[in-house]
A = this chain, B = another copy of it.
C-alpha cells in the first residue's frame, strides 16, 4: 500500500507554488499556458489525484449526497435509488446510501452519520416508524427531499405518487369488470402512502357504490400479504376482488390464495400497486397500478441538485401520475360469467 502524491509534490516537481497548482486544478484563476503545462505534466507524471477529503474540508462541501431507503431489496426502491444515483453521478456527486430496513433506529443512525459526514444533500424515503421531528431538524442543516413517502406538515421538497388517483384507477377497473364487493389489503398505516391509498380506495369504492367487505393492514412485505390473504379468505362472505397496497404485498396475496386453493382471478381478483419488475412474471401475472420509481428517483435527484446549487425556488412538491396495467390477476367475478 503506497502513499499518494499531494498537491505539494506537484508544486515541487513543477517548480511552482501550491497556490498555482490549486488554480489550475480548480480554474479559479487564469494561469499562463506555459505554467499550466508544467503543472499538468507534473500531475500526469506523478499520477496525482486531488484528495477529496481535504478539498471537502476546505470548501465545506463534500460533493456527496445521501439517500436513505426503507428497503433496498424492494425493486421499487432499488430502481429509484439507481435512477437518482445516475443523475448525481453525471454531476460528479457521489452517493452514499443507507438502508433502514424500515427500522426507525437504523434510520436515525443513518441520518446522523450522514449529517456528520457533511453530506451536501439528502434524499429520504422515510421508514414507517420514522421520527418526523428528527427529519425536520436535519432539514434545517441539509437540503433534503422526501421521496415516495412524506411526513405530516412537511414544508420542504418532495416527490410523491398520486396515491388517491392510483387507487381510484384500481377501484374503477374492478367496478368496470363488474365487481360489487371489494376489500383492501394494505401496508403500514403510519406511512403516508398507505393512508392515501386507503383514502383513495374508500372514496372510490363509495363513488362507485361498491361494498367494502374489509380493510386490513400490516407491512408492505410479501409475508404480510400472505398473512392478510389468509385472514381475508377465511372470512365467510369474502369479496370477489381485492386491492392491495403494493406489489410485494400482492405477490404474497397471490401465494396465500394459491395455498388455500383459491383460484385467481376466477374466485378472487387481485390488483397490486407499483408494477415492480417481477409483477408480470408472477402467476397469474399481476394487474397493477404502475408507478415509475425511476422517474421519481430522477425527479428527486434533480430537485435536490437545484436546491444544493442554491437555485432558490420555494418548497416544491412533485406528484407523479400512476397508470393502470391490466394483466392476468383480474377478471369479471364468476357470477357474471
Contacts and interface: CB of A to CB of B under 8 A. Distances in A.
A63 B144 CA distance: 23
A224 to B, nearest CB: 15
A154 interface: no
Contact of A97 (B95, B142, B255): B95
Contacts of A140: 1-2
A99 B85 contact: yes
19 contacts: A2-B141, A49-B116, A50-B116, A52-B113, A53-B53, A53-B57, A54-B57, A72-B72, A72-B78, A73-B79, A75-B75, A82-B99, A89-B106, A94-B98, A94-B113, A95-B97, A278-B281, A278-B282, A282-B283
A141 B47 CA distance: 13
Interface residues of A, number: 52
A118 interface: yes
A71 to B, nearest CB: 9
Nearest to A114: B94
A299 B72 CA distance: 19
A245 B113 CA distance: 39
Interface string A52-96: 111011000010100000001101001101100100010000111
